[in-house]
Amino acid sequence: MAKVKTAFFCSNCGYESTKWLGKCPACSQWNTFIEEVIERNQKEKNFWKDATGERQTSKAKLLDAVESLKEERIITHDAELNRALGGGIVTGSITLLAGEPGIGKSTLLLQDALQLNSAVILYVSGEESEHQIKMRANRLNIRNENFYILTETSLSVIFTEIKKLQPALVIIDSIQTLQSDNIDATPGSIAQVRECAASLQRFAKETHTPVFIIGHITKDGSIAGPKILEHMVDTVLQFEGDQHYAYRILRTLKNRFGSTSELGIYEMTGNGMRTVNNPSEILINQKEEVLSGSAVAAGMEGLRPLLIETQALVTQSVYGTPQRTSSGLDARRLQLLLAVLEKRGGFHFGMKDVFVNIAGGLRIEDPSTDLAIICALLSSYEDAPLSPNICFAGEVGLNGEIRAVNRVDQRIAEAEKLGFEKIFISPFNKKGLDKSHYKIEVTAVSKVDELYRLLF
């Protein structure tokens, strides 16, 4: 059997070499050479061909001649996963699930797959043994007589088992552990990840079998492997959250069959992942007494309204340079809000340490939380607690103005559902807003100094 021919190419300029080089002779960049296949073995066997062993040939069709078919979806018992995928698992789709080590990726997919009792499921693991998977399944306390486990890293062996079982769903844990015989490279390398992903994509499209792939991430938070891995799959899901907290967020980064604004929220328990139907009640801390430096923001995570508690602590600095520390919030956003309070409000934070925290371990990027963070900072600055029955929804501009936010009606409805009596919004959000539909008091403020006079 002739060996597959490969060459090394510079990912920066495209320079070709017969062996790996540390420094590119053309562009002088370091560690940019990756292995590429330039000639395959024509006798390579594909295990998902039809009974005749011949690949079906495609012919060009007119767009008007193509029938419009509704996507067939597998509805799982996990409502949060169904929401993130846009309504269920599409047959023939390939989904990439990435996240931090130990965040619960394997637990989530194992739990959801075990709950599909009517379908044959194949769980392929290259990282854990059969006994480890059995121990996790016993902890989940879910039985499925059609659930098969395969601990293998060779792609050819995996496809051989797939041809025998004809599963309705395939889970790969993880793509970085697989290796193809067509590539003479170590598992996890760029060439191996790309080749294995391409083979799984061809299998999914030709057999209409959905495939879930678990992927690793790098230390800076991006998905490990080549960027083409995210382009090849149909859906990219990011599983994120602080390991010291019980809550996890399943965020959709790419979805060819639905919206990328959806997300699912889970709570990690001893018996697996528990779906959180109303996350606002969990994210708001139930305190016995009212304390300063706390304000509630009516934010949005995707298409989902969330009421989030923001906490701030302002103290006198004992060092020469004041500290600015934020948890769950962009530090540059905190610097911007402090500059607005200094310039437009006349509050002197120059010699004070400032600490801001988003309760629950979440990381928030919604600019509508600016108003709540401003109020939490002022509450701690004056050491005057805010009423626990008010919340805020507004973006703060550089001139100290309160700017409008989107989907304000959903934010108001969520605040009213949780028992809040008053919400502060931008006056530009009042246009077209019918207050008679809400029992909650809606107050519009246009400037930061105006809000300060109303609250303190």
Per the annotation, binding residues for ATP are 99-106
Helix or strand (DSSP H, E) at 338 = helix 331-340
Per the structure block, which two tokens stand in for 142? 């879910």
d(CA 151, CA 84): 28
Per the structure block, which two tokens stand in for 59? 């012919």
Helix or strand (DSSP H, E) at 272 = strand 272-275
Cβ pair 233, 117 in contact under 8 A: no
Instruction: Find, among 168, 156, 121, the residue nearest to 47 by Cα.
Output: 156
d(CA 225, CA 190): 6
SS3 144: coil
Using the structure block, give the residue that is written with the tokens 């995707």. Answer: 302
d(CA 418, CA 441): 14
> 235-240 and 247-255: which strand pairing?
antiparallel
Cβ pair 275, 246 in contact under 8 A: no
Q: Which residues are annotated as a binding site?
A: 99-106
Sheet bearing 272-275, strands edge to edge: 147-151, 121-125, 169-173, 211-215, 94-99, 235-240, 247-255, 263-269, 272-275
Instruction: Find, among 416, 425, 414, 418, the residue nearest to 454 by Cα.
Output: 425
d(CA 158, CA 187): 15
d(CA 370, CA 364): 11
d(CA 252, CA 337): 29
